[in-house]
Chains A and B, each alone.
Chain A
Amino acid sequence: MTDAAGTNPAWALLAPVVLGLLALAAAALNGILVARAEGRTLRSGAAAPVFEVARLMRQRRRTTVAADVLLWRIGCSGLVVVALLKTAVIPVGPWVLADIPVAIVWFNAMDVMVWAVVWLIGWGANSAYSLIGGYRFLAQAVSYELPLMFALVTPAVAAHSLRVSDVIAAQQELWFIVWMPVAFVVFCLSVVAFSSWGPFATAASGDIAGGILTEVSGVDRLLILAGRYALLTTGAAFAVALFLGGGAGPLLPDWLWTLVKTLLLLAAFVVVRHRLPEVRPDRLAEVAWMIVLPVVLLQTLIVSIVVAVRG
């Protein structure tokens, strides 16, 4: 398997662009689904994110009375920054920004940063609905975090390493999704959850007038919405690296396979939003701790036994 090359300076500039394009593709797919549901042409739906960006760039920023502006603005720009930090460890073909030996833990650390960032967005606005949105996110995060951690540990156990390139190399014979499906599903659901997307979007939902998005406008709003899509994209890319064999596949070069698989998984995430109702954090808690966590632990146990037996 190709060893990851050192930091390629060209990739350092290209990675954010690729991330942006993939996120835009996800937003376009979302727009297409909405347009189809409302009976409009697909083209108008696909162009919707571009128009939304134009609208938000034209809109002015606002503030509220006695808002904690420093924390608020840090929160608003934080989501995109966290997504970029996550892409630093994801290899696309031979390019990777930083193939650190603890990449899986780094990914986990970054999505814990999202806890802080989303809460800061909710807190900074000094608005009741905003605050409820921030707290809803933390309540949901407490529920999905332990299953996510164990779902991340499972491929690391199977590959005897926390480095992403080692995990990809260990999948040469058999992709991990085949014998750790539970970990894969839990990981994908956690990606949807930390992006505040789909069934786990109660932090930004309409019943609290937009939650964390209630008081933001203009470029702040653009950064938060873009950050959500960017987190979804990096999550999908990491799932491809951890469970779907990275760039493995016939015919096409491995960077192209990585992008194709990421796009497919990303499309699945976007479609999930339109199919399922939202899950409120107080309902999620019991299910996550009493059903999902034991199942994921069982999965990790089985994988560990298999790895130990294989020697």
Chain B
Amino acid sequence: MGLRASIALGAVQSIHVLVVEVPGWGATRMRVEAELARRGWTAARSPADADVLLVCGVPGKKLESVCARIWSQLPGPRARVAVHNASDVASGLEKAAAELLDEGRQQGDARTRSHQPVEASDEIEHVGHGGSEESAEHSKPMDMDMDAEMDMSMDMDMPMPGGIPLASGGPDRDGLEMDVLHVALGPVLPHWPAGLVVHCALQGDVIVSAEPDVLPAALQPNNDGPIGNNSRSAHDERRSTVARLSDAAVQVLALAGWSYAAGRARRIRDEVAAGTALVDVAADLDSLARSVSRSWLLRWALNGITVGDAFANTGEGAGRHEPETVRGRLIGWLDEARRIARYNTEAYESPDNPELQRSLLDAIPQLLSGTDVATARLIVASLAIQTAQIAQAREPRT
């Protein structure tokens, strides 16, 4: 076997897949993650890291244009897969691996890729900056990281490298003047709610203002929840709740940087989603909840990060005097999942509550302003917004 072919064969043993989740296809995304772990592949953290772009679900127009832009940022060799339900996942990944091995196709793809960057649309932004393949001439301006809200009436002769205007200054939280950078968090970020975009004004890495938005799907999946049955018995409700709570715990633990605990929570989630009986995972949930609550390093790292009054009006938050902390939410989820698994009780809150999700979304600007990016990510993850319900509640878009 030639050197090239053996390198290619080695390369497809550890493929990095960038997973784009469309709101509503959470179950498919969880299945994808389980499948990646089973094969020894990794979920990519950014387009530069990815070989395969996998879109879970049918995205709406805005989300589709985001996917197109991300596709153009993947360095070669690359493959693109769309997955619509859990049973398609394995075959989709196999197809992607075969495409990556197909030398002729990859070289054709590389030839047809333009050396000009993709034309930007003004509204949607995504992770980081746009990129092109080789270090070629950039004849057209790339997507604007700086919004057009800047005051363009003055300084028309300002230098604009790469077609992007320089940042202007503004007072920061200590009363000094610092440059303001407009960055959109999402919609494609690791451990981030599907389809959520938060347009931030950053000074350094402190968020000064935040404007959330949800990019909807084109249509909804025909099966709800992680279990994928049309009929929702109480048993399925419990399993879907445990899977949902474990998933939320995975996001917060991963963002806190504790990959080991996040991996354990993910395994529990995948087992529940795959059909294991709840009593079997109860022991794992117990030990996970215990180690998370005992970890003083986690307590210290998450110390003082609260979600304010976002839950003050709900059943959980009523009667509390202090704002809920991220760590408190995390431990609460694990405890509830534990309870449901072991004692077969019902969940406290029903997950289908669009008003609650909307109020969480509206609480974001106030919660995030003045926090740095790391804290903001933890806060958003601990809100555990079900963006599918917000997207559904809007007027239908094409």
Contacts and interface: CB of A to CB of B under 8 A. Distances in A.
Interface of A: 35, 37-40, 44-45, 47-48, 50-55, 57-66, 69, 125-130, 132, 135, 199, 201-202, 205-210, 213-218, 221, 273-280, 282-283
Given A63-B131, A215-B131, A37 B263 contact: yes
Interface in B35-50: 37-38, 40, 45-46, 48-49
A287 B13 CA distance: 42
A277 B295 CA distance: 9
A213 to B, nearest CB: 7
Given A51-B11, A277-B298, A125 B129 contact: yes
B229 to A, nearest CB: 25
B132 interface: yes
A61 B77 contact: no
A199 B260 CA distance: 12
A69 B135 contact: yes
B256 A278 contact: yes
Contacts of A40: 37-38, 40
A209 to B, nearest CB: 5
Contact of A213 (B45, B181, B301, B373): B45
A131 B191 CA distance: 20
A221 B189 CA distance: 19
Top 8 closest A-B pairs, CB basis?
A278-B257, A54-B10, A66-B162, A277-B258, A51-B14, A55-B11, A51-B13, A210-B45
A63 B162 contact: no
B72 to A, nearest CB: 11
B189 A209 contact: yes
A144 to B, nearest CB: 16
A279 B377 contact: no
B324 interface: no
A52 B16 CA distance: 10
A138 B127 CA distance: 23
Nearest to A49: B14
Q: Tell me the dominant secondary structure on chain A's binding face.
A: helix
Interface in B143-169: 145, 161-164
A275 to B, nearest CB: 6
B277 to A, nearest CB: 18
From A63, A209, A282, residue with most partner B Cβ within 10 Å: A209
B233 to A, nearest CB: 29
A69 B138 CA distance: 14
A201 B127 CA distance: 20
B73 to A, nearest CB: 8
A206 B257 CA distance: 8
Interface of B: 7-16, 37-38, 40, 45-46, 48-49, 51, 73, 75-77, 110, 117, 127-135, 138, 142, 145, 161-164, 181, 183, 189-191, 202, 204-205, 253-261, 263-264, 267, 295, 297-298, 300-301, 303, 372-374, 377-378
Contacts of B191: 206-207
Given A128-B129, A214-B127, A283-B301, 17 more contacts: A39-B267, A59-B51, A60-B75, A60-B77, A61-B75, A62-B73, A62-B75, A63-B135, A65-B138, A69-B135, A128-B145, A128-B202, A206-B255, A276-B258, A276-B297, A277-B301, A280-B301
From A48, A61, A64, A66, residue with most partner B Cβ within 10 Å: A64
A88 B263 CA distance: 39
Contact of B374 (A62, A130, A207): A207
A48 B127 contact: no
Contacts of A201: 257
Nearest to B73: A62
26 contacts: A40-B37, A48-B14, A51-B10, A55-B10, A55-B11, A65-B131, A66-B164, A128-B128, A128-B129, A129-B128, A199-B297, A206-B191, A207-B373, A207-B374, A207-B378, A209-B46, A210-B48, A213-B45, A213-B46, A213-B48, A215-B46, A215-B48, A217-B48, A276-B297, A277-B295, A278-B257
A112 to B, nearest CB: 23
A48 B117 CA distance: 34
